């Protein structure tokens, strides 16, 4: 029988939705922390295939999720393009900043990224052979807008102001950067698929700061280009798109981009999603990640509400964003038991 996650992504309405979690391999798990300590630092963990595969497998062993998402980071791609990347403990990623055409000119081409990313592809190959037969392997990349915001600012920012400023003050440089990231993302995801990824997800974590025409130009159109080219190269490949905090711009996004599944954050209600989004595609989401910290009856109640709201169409149960490091692993099991047991 086809894997349940693949069935949902193909548009099938299942009696129990398949489950996985964004950032399911992460700091909330003691076994992850032990493996990361063995690696020495975050980037070494990402680039050591045996260890990256191990942390990908840990939540599958513990919880039996229906999907396993490759352990990597969206900023490995800009590093492969030539940006400097490092992580500051307790603060997160830092990159060299791109502020004009000279920075753009220093980057590599889309076809020159693969030697740097070879460990990621090896991790996918290992997972393809080691995952349980009923677990779907998910590859991923950051969407061009989100990756560009980090490359321009050198770090995460509250409003993505530096990227907005560059796209307005120097549209030629900004558009060229977006085009390079878009084409490099296609190459990156395509090699993940060749290595064994069965599904890919495009994370546009900062899509919500794009409004109106800018959303169409910098979130929707790059996603459409990536999806269409991946499906041309890999017929039948399911793609999940996540334009986080898109709000009303979620409407029509799956159909316009060709994505098979639309992941939604927890700022929109599952009832609204069932009415306005689910007729177009499978929906993934959208439990508030805070429930993984606080637990209790509210976790059970909201989990049941989401399953009930989206039961009439294809649905993949997930969080509305990534699980946080302060989450209680026991609450994850409660969530899974509630989805699967009612």
Q: Is 62 a catalytic residue?
A: no
Q: Report the 10 Å Cβ neighbour count for 244.
A: 22
* Catalytic residue (one of 36, 62, 94, 224): 36
What pLDDT does residue 89 have? Answer: 82
Could you give the CA distance from residue 181 to residue 203 in angstroms, rounded to a whole number? 13
What pLDDT does residue 111 have? Answer: 97
pLDDT tens, position by position, 136-173: 999 999 999 999 999 999 999 999 999 999 999 999 99
Residue 196 has which token pair? 């064994």
* Catalytic residue (one of 33, 73, 112, 224): 73
Residue 73 has which token pair? 């980071």
What pLDDT does residue 167 have? Answer: 97
Q: Is 63 a catalytic residue?
A: no
Global pTM reads: 0.98
CATH label, 4-341, candidates 3.90.1150.10, 3.20.20.210, 3.30.465.10, 3.10.110.10: 3.20.20.210
Could you give the CA distance from residue 47 to residue 172 in angstroms, rounded to a whole number? 33
* Catalytic residue (one of 27, 125, 155, 224): 27
Any idea where the domains of the chain sit in the sequence? Answer: 4-341
In the numeric block, the tokens 């798109």 are attached to 241
H/E run at residue 167: helix 161-169
What pLDDT does residue 91 have? Answer: 85
Q: What percentage of the chain exceeds 70 in pLDDT?
A: 99
What pLDDT does residue 90 have? Answer: 81
Task: List, for the chain, all residue ranges whose pLDDT scores fall below the cut of 70.
Answer: 1, 342
For the packed helices 171-195 and 221-233, what is the interaxial angle rounded to 10 degrees?
A: 30
- φ/ψ (deg, to 5) at 6: -65, -35
Could you give the CA distance from residue 150 to residue 64 in angstroms, rounded to a whole number? 33
* Catalytic residue (one of 32, 63, 121, 150): 150
Residue 225 has which token pair? 């280009």
Residue 265 has which token pair? 């954050």
What pLDDT does residue 305 have? Answer: 98
pLDDT tens, position by position, 56-79: 999 999 999 999 999 999 999 999
Sheet holding 282-287, edge to edge: 67-69, 136-142, 199-204, 239-243, 261-263, 282-287, 315-319
Q: Which long-range contacts (CB under 8 A, 24 or more apart) does 49-52 make?
A: 49/119, 49/120, 49/122, 49/123, 49/126, 50/126, 52/119, 52/120, 52/123
- φ/ψ (deg, to 5) at 336: -60, -45
What pLDDT does residue 1 have? Answer: 59
Q: Is 330 a catalytic residue?
A: no
Beta bridge pairs of residue 199: 138
Answer yes or no: are the C-beta atoms of 77 and 188 closer than 8 Å.
yes
């Amino acid at each position: 029988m086809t894997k349940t996650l693949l069935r949902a992504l193909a548009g099938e309405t299942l009696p129990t939705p398949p489950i996985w979690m964004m950032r399911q391999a992460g700091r909330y798990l003691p076994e992850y922390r032990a493996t990361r300590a063995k690696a020495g630092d975050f980037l070494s963990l990402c680039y050591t295939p045996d260890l990256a595969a191990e942390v990908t497998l840990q939540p599958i062993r513990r919880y039996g999720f229906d999907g396993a998402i490759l352990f990597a980071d969206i900023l490995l791609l800009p590093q492969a393009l030539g940006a400097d990347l490092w992580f500051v403990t307790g603060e997160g990623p830092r990159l060299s900043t791109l502020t004009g055409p000279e920075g753009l000119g220093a980057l590599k081409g889309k076809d020159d990224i693969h030697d740097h990313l070879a460990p990621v592809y090896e991790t996918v190959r290992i997972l393809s052979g080691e995952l349980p037969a009923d677990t779907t392997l998910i590859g991923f990349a950051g969407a061009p807008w989100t990756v560009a915001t980090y490359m321009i600012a050198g770090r995460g920012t509250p409003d993505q102001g530096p990227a907005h400023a560059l796209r307005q003050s120097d549209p030629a440089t900004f558009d060229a950067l977006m085009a390079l990231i878009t084409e490099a993302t296609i190459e990156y995801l395509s090699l993940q698929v060749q290595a064994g990824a069965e599904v890919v997800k495009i994370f546009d974590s900062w899509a919500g700061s794009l409004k109106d025409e800018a959303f169409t130009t910098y979130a929707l159109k790059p996603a459409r280009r990536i999806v269409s080219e991946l499906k041309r190269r890999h017929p039948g490949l399911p793609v999940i798109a996540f334009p986080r905090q898109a709000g009303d711009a979620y409407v029509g996004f799956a159909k316009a981009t060709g994505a098979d599944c639309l992941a939604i954050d927890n700022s929109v209600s599952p009832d609204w999603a069932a009415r306005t989004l689910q007729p177009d595609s499978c929906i993934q989401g959208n439990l508030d990640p805070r429930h993984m910290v606080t637990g209790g009856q509210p976790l059970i109640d909201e989990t049941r509400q989401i399953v009930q709201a989206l039961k009439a169409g294809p649905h993949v149960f997930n969080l509305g964003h990534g699980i946080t490091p302060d989450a209680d692993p026991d609450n994850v099991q409660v969530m899974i038991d509630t989805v699967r047991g009612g």
